[in-house]
């Protein structure tokens, strides 16, 4: 497991570009909202800690992780430097998990290769609720923090390329 003995919230602030000049969009799935709200808090707090002004963080909610693709596409049109797509898909008893995970990962990949604004994949795809809790502010830290750092770095890359 990739997160064993790793805290997703650990990063070296000295290696992070100045984010005060950037504007970010965050698209949050309402499904599994106890998880996605934790991820949002991690992302939002990390952006603020790295100099982003609160009014330069735009949040939109969508019903579920599948809808993150469309929400992220529309968010790219909002003059943001990067988008963070936040969701949580937890394995159930049917193949629905596989179809949603595949569609969301491919959809976000497609936005990254066909459009100019980077979209950061902050979608937990866990086997159970406990794993999701551990990665959204629990013992493994917060994947939202990791996504915010990636968004800052990708906004900087976009600006400088």
Token look-up 């991820």 returns: 39
How many Cβ atoms are within 10 Å of 47's Cβ, its own excluded? 27
Strand pairing report for 82-90 and 119-126: parallel
Is 93 known as a binding-site position? yes
Q: Does 88 belong to an annotated binding site? A: yes
The catalytic residue among 6, 96, 109, 139 is 96
136 is in an annotated binding site: no
SS3 69: helix
The reply, when asked if residue 36 is annotated as ligand binding, is no
96 is catalytic: yes
31 assigned to a ligand binding site: yes
The reply, when asked if residue 89 is annotated as ligand binding, is yes
Q: Contact 107/86 with Cβ under 8 angstroms?
A: no
Choose among 143, 148, 123: nearest CA to 50.
Answer: 148
Annotated binding-site ranges: 31, 65-67, 88-90, 93-94, 121, 135
Annotated binding-site ranges for 5-amino-6-(D-ribitylamino)uracil: 31, 65-67, 88-90, 121
Annotated binding-site ranges for (2S)-2-hydroxy-3-oxobutyl phosphate: 93-94, 135
Catalytic residues: 96
């Amino acid at each position: 497991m990739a997160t064993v003995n790793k805290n997703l919230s650990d990063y070296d602030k000295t290696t992070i570009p100045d984010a005060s000049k950037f504007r970010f969009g965050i698209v949050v799935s309402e499904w599994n909202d106890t998880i996605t709200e934790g991820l949002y808090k991690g992302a939002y707090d990390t952006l603020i800690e790295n100099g982003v002004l609160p009014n330069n963080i735009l949040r939109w909610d969508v019903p579920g992780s599948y809808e993150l693709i469309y929400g992220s596409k529309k968010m790219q049109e909002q003059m943001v430097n990067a988008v963070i797509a936040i969701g949580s898909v937890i394995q159930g008893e049917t193949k629905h998990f596989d179809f949603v995970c595949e569609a969301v990962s491919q959809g976000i990949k497609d936005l990254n290769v066909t459009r100019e604004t980077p979209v950061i994949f902050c979608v937990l795809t866990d086997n159970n609720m406990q794993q999701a809790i551990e990665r959204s502010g629990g013992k493994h830290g917060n994947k939202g923090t990791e996504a915010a750092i990636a968004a800052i770095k990708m906004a900087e890359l976009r600006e400088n390329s």
